Amino acid sequence: MGCPSSEDPRRGGDAAGSTSGTPTAVTATGTNDPTTGLTTGLTTGASATSQGETDSSTGGETGVADGSSESGDPAPECGNGIVEGDEACDDSGDSAACNMDCTAAECGDGYVNRAAGEVCDDGDTDPGNGCNNLCLPRNCGDGVVEGAEVCDDGNRDQTDGCVGCQDAVCGDGFIQAGVEDCDDQNMDETDACLSDCVAASCGDGFVQVGVEDCEDGNADDTDACVGCQDAVCGDGFVQAGVEDCDDQNADPDDGCDACASTCGNDCWGDEGCMTDAGRCVRFTCADGDGAATACDDCFGWQPVSYDQWLNGGYCNDITDRYRADHQYETRCGGAPVCCGDPAGCGGGDNAWHFSSGAGTRYLGPCLGCMGVDNCTFWDEVATGTYTRITACERM
């Protein structure tokens, strides 16, 4: 009988895959990796001279399971500060440009990167869903109209058309420049700012408390409300049906005493007569340049001046009073100076006579003319002794 064969028929060859028929020592070693808890094994032998060779018995590749790549380089590790493999970046954590997972930081990526200034990140850049396209919560003043905002102009100007991200309106408490006078946030029509944001003023129809006594909405100075104040004696306006006159003084000897007329009804008499404007006047005659002193010389009144006649409203007021008594009759002319009664002052001239300071002038309206009254008619220097009518006023 021959010697038994050393080949194990169950292995299909020696343990190392050798075909020499000579057994080869095989050593198996195993180590425990404390960092992973895994055991790695390495089989060494004469025929196993490299790692990763092809096993002829299995057709597979053998290798070492140690986290290496096929090339033998270490696998990429996010967080080690080195950009490797498919990492976009690696800053060892969040940074302004890099997320913790080594992807580039970008608003809308769904990751809240606070190092990049993000407070929120809902995965999109839609500004209308609570997190805007800067990854900041919806915020009035960020320049983006969001949620309940009607406007957002990105500024804190409270005088333009957008206030608190709402359209500026009367009553919001802010004065819109060029549009509103005021804005006191109330509907009180008795304060300094009306409900339409217009400053209160006399004539607006609302009585401003502490400022106005009344508001009748008209410019009539003869009723009970004058300049939004209650009409009173001494305000310079004759209240119809209440006052005879109002000369704004307390002198009882000037024809108006406590707004009651002490003036007579004869414009040529000693007491004179009252005009519609509350002036107590008297007419007389003066010659040549005598108008400046005619009133004093004749009966001690104040002559109406050339300037008062043209610019102070005296012309129309006094002429209207003259026409009420004498219509288109003329007076003076050949009458004596200081004419004291209508009968003695009749006939002659049809001009008024006033001192201009440099001389006496005669001017219209023409008392004997039927045309339209003209207060500046003639306006010529008086000469000679011819007498003309002069108006005097009791002051």
Phi, psi of 167 (to 5 degrees): -60, 135
Q: At residue 20, does pLDDT exceed 70? A: no
User: Diameter of the chain by CA atoms?
Assistant: 195
Q: Considering only 22-26, 132-136, 156-160, 391-395, which range has the smallest mean pLDDT? A: 22-26
Per DSSP, the three-state class of 146 is: coil
Phi-psi region of 288 (alpha: psi -120 to 50; beta: other; left: phi over 0): left
Position 84 scores a pLDDT of 92
How large is the average pLDDT for residues 47-53?
41
How high is the pLDDT of residue 287? 85
Closest by CA position to 46, among listed 12, 22, 65, 62: 22
0.75 surpassed by pTM: no
What is the pLDDT at residue 72? 64
| Residue 345 amino acid letter | C
Measured between alpha carbons, how far is 177 from 172 in angstroms, rounded to an integer?
Answer: 13
Q: Do 345 and 362 form a contact (C-beta atoms < 8 A)?
A: no
pLDDT at 68: 52
**At 69, is the pLDDT very low, low, confident or very high (cuts 50, 70, 90)?**
low
Structure confidence by residue, pLDDT tens digits, 314-369: 999 999 999 999 999 988 988 888 888 878 888 888 889 998 888 889 999 999 99
Checking if the pLDDT of 278 tops 90, the result is no
Average confidence (pLDDT) over 83-100: 93
Can you read off the two tokens belonging to residue 250?
A: 């307390």
Of 313, 318, 324, 319, the residue nearest 236 (C-alpha): 313
